[in-house]
Structure 1
Amino acid sequence: MSDKITFSIHELVSALDTAADAMLTERYGVTANQFVFLATCADVEPTDITGLAECLRISKAAVSKRVPGLVRDGWITTRDDPAHGRRVILELTDRARDLVERAGRDLDAQFTALFTDPRAQGIDAALLNDHLNVLTALLREKAAS
């Protein structure tokens, strides 16, 4: 634990990622990285490789490399965009949408259950979420300027 907020937030995210990965692998047979990929796609679908790469903040090559396996495993479908010759449109399958819904709900429940621990007394989960959203927006605005 640290007295520096940036390091504390990093530790929290790391611990959250580790817990999420364990739960998602055990209950749903997907890694946290796969879930984030699918959940992000769900937020922006239909999308293309470039759009998804921007949302995930990874390269187009990284998205392109992951897509065939997700198609093969029944998580994503692809189709050509008739208006753009080389553009590939990505959409989730119903199975993936169901996973994102159920696993997302389970992840939220697992994390918010921490607020029932007496050591978390006085932490308002909704208010914390609002504060984190404000800080995220401020950082993104600052980076864009």
Structure 2
Amino acid sequence: MAYKSAHDASDLQGFFADLVRCETRLYNALNERLRQQHGIVTSQFEFLRFLRERPGCRVADLAAEFAIGVGATSKGIDRLEKQGWMVRRANPEDRRSSLLELTDDGSRLLAAAEKTFAAGLKELLEGALGSSATAAAARALSQLRSALERDQVGTPAG
């Protein structure tokens, strides 16, 4: 369902539906490529990327970044650790939490999966929109995300 206009307040529900359905379809398509080619799913890929960018982060940091609960995040980290793609280290400043780090195997997996992910995004987004419209959409969504995060909109309670 395509919405009439971003300026037509009466059809913001259509805009929301399009936004959510696009995200779901892109996520599923990339998930399938990552699963087939690397044996991981999109959520694992995103966690691994975050761990590479933020070595020594905590489960709570991941949960905050992805706006998901700490329990679900911890379970996801457990799965990555079981595969040998990351490790938990004792947090010297807080015995109740662990610091998370990628392993060499996790780094190699991520490097290979990033190529698949980037190629899939390029094909799916630029193939449908072209590079100019993709860049405009990226700017608009980045602005929206910044506002939502600044105002702590949609932050999980637990």
Paired residues, what number?
143
CA contact (8 A) 2:26 2:124 kept: no
Per the normalisation by structure 2, the TM-score is 0.76
Contact conserved, 2:84 with 2:105, CA < 8 A, in 1? Answer: yes
Cα shift readout 1:14-52 (whole Å, capped 9, x = no counterpart): 110110111000000011222222223223221112222
Q: Following TM superposition, where does structure 1 have runs of at least 4 consecutive aligned residues deviating by more than 4 angstroms?
A: none
RMSD, aligned α-carbons: 2.3
Q: AA paired with 1:30?
A: I
Instruction: Identify the residue that residue 141 of structure 2 maps to in structure 1.
Output: 132
The structure-2 alpha-carbon separation of the partners of 1:120 and 1:84, relative to structure 1 and needing over 3 Å to count, comes to closer
Unaligned runs of 5+ in 2: 4-13, 154-158
Whole-Å Cα distance in 2 between the matches of residues 80 and 122 of structure 1?
45
Give 1:115 deviation, angstroms.
5.3
Change (3 A) 1:61 1:134: same
Whole-Å separation in 2 of the counterparts to 1:39 and 1:122: 24
In structure 2, distance between residues paired with 1:58 and 1:90: 17
AA aligned opposite 2:142? N
SS in 2 for 1:124: helix
**TM superposition shift of 1:135:** 1.9
TM-score w.r.t. length of structure 1? 0.82
2:41 to 27, 31, 42: 31
- Of 84-93 and 99-108, deviating more is 99-108
Q: Which has the higher contact order (CA 8 A, sep 6+)?
A: 2
In structure 1, what residue type is equivalent to 2:106? Answer: A
Q: Percent identity?
A: 24
Listed as ranges, the gaps of 5+ residues in structure 1 are none
Q: C-alpha separation between the residues in 1 aligned to 2:140 and 2:82? A: 40
Aligned to 2:74, the other structure's residue is in SS state: helix
In the other structure, the counterpart of 1:95 is 105
Q: Which residue of 2 aligns with 1:2?
A: 2
